[in-house]
Amino acid sequence: MVQKPDPRLTPARGDVAAAALKGKVEAGRFVEPRPMTVAAAVAPLKGAAEPYGPLDSSLLFGQHFDVYDTRDGWSWGQAVSDGYVGYVPEATLADGALPSNHVVAMPMTHLYAEPSIKTEPVGMLFMNSAVQVEAEDGVFVRLPGGLYAHRSHLSDESAADFVAIARMFLHAPYLWGGNSVQGIDCSGLVQAALMRAGRDCPRDSDMQEAMPSVAVDPDGPLQKGDLVFWKGHVGIMVTGAKLLHATEYTLRVIEEPFKAARKRIAAAGLEVTSVKRLG
């Protein structure tokens, strides 16, 4: 049995596909990727080129996106960070795979036109946004374009504890397809935390459930860092008894007793499908 490529990760659309897929998929034309970089704080990634259509995922400032086709203000391509394929507004992208040497290490940081906290911010960036630090100016660093960010909000190293990172999103509003503190979903929370910890992580919960890991009995004992999966949902154990997750139940990121969450979700007809412990 030949396994079909996951359309979420395969840059093939019927009329156009990545040149690397020639001979593997059918398409009207095969093209080389055009490297681009996200130039907006957050760029929506969608399954269709519709301004108010469903959000599949989100891209953050400085992340790279390979474009295979652009028309009517939308660029279709693939996110380099996790391989997700979709449409991104053309206006949110800049030419080239621009370099970076730091990432935003806080849930959100302000950008300033001057190296002073007393000036009004001119923008903001979110965790895992990639930036190029050009110089230091006291407690600030200068970024391209003459903008400044607080040095303590950026890092050139991976975080040691992805669970501690995930807890930084506590009370963030729920947003389907979101992956920042302004809006995040269950798998976006897991991905954001693991990426900040320097780990590759796919976008969707079913992909995350298939990551290399050790299966754990849902009845325990569980431990900090275990990932708990239901159909279409995932949460992170912050202790052996408490679960952190972005949930439609409250439309925000919450921390609650795992047993209570499991009972409530089971009442809605969903049982735990697995518990995975990452290496």
- Render pLDDT for 49-82 as a digit per residue (tens, 0 to 9): 999 999 999 999 999 999 999 999 999 999 999 9
φ, ψ for residue 135, nearest 5 deg: -165, 165
Residue 5 has pLDDT above 90, yes or no: no
Mean pLDDT of all residues in 262-266: 98
Topology agreement, domain 102-155 and domain 162-277: no
In this prediction the pTM is 0.96
Task: Give the model's pLDDT for residue 224.
Answer: 98
pLDDT bracket for residue 279 (50, 70, 90)? confident
Q: What is residue 2's predicted lDDT score, i.e. its pLDDT? A: 56
Q: How confident is the model at residue 255 (pLDDT cuts 50, 70, 90)?
A: very high
Domain borders along the chain are: 17-95, 102-155, 162-277
Q: Is the pLDDT of residue 160 over 70?
A: yes
Percent of the chain with pLDDT over 90: 97
pLDDT of 1 over the 60 cut: no
Decide if 84 contacts 9 (C-beta within 8 A).
Answer: yes
Name the fold adopted by 102-155.
SH3 type barrels. (2.30.30)
Integer Cα distance of 115 and 147 in angstroms: 8
Q: What is the mean pLDDT of the chain?
A: 97
pLDDT band per the 50, 70, 90 thresholds, residue 4: confident
- 155 pLDDT above the threshold of 90: yes
Cα distance between residue 279 and residue 159, in whole Å? 16
How far apart are alpha carbons 177 and 172 in whole angstroms? 14
Asked whether 157 and 170 are in contact (CB, 8 A), the reply is no
Q: Which pLDDT belongs to residue 166?
A: 98
Measured from the Cβ of residue 76, the count of other Cβ atoms closer than 10 Å reads 20
Is 17-95 assigned to CATH 2.40.50.1070?
A: no
Give, for 140, the enclosing helix (H) or strand (E). strand 140-143
Which CATH class, in words, describes the domain spanning 162-277?
A: alpha beta
pLDDT at 33 over 60: yes
Per residue in 210-252, pLDDT tens? 999 999 999 989 999 999 999 999 999 999 999 999 999 999 9
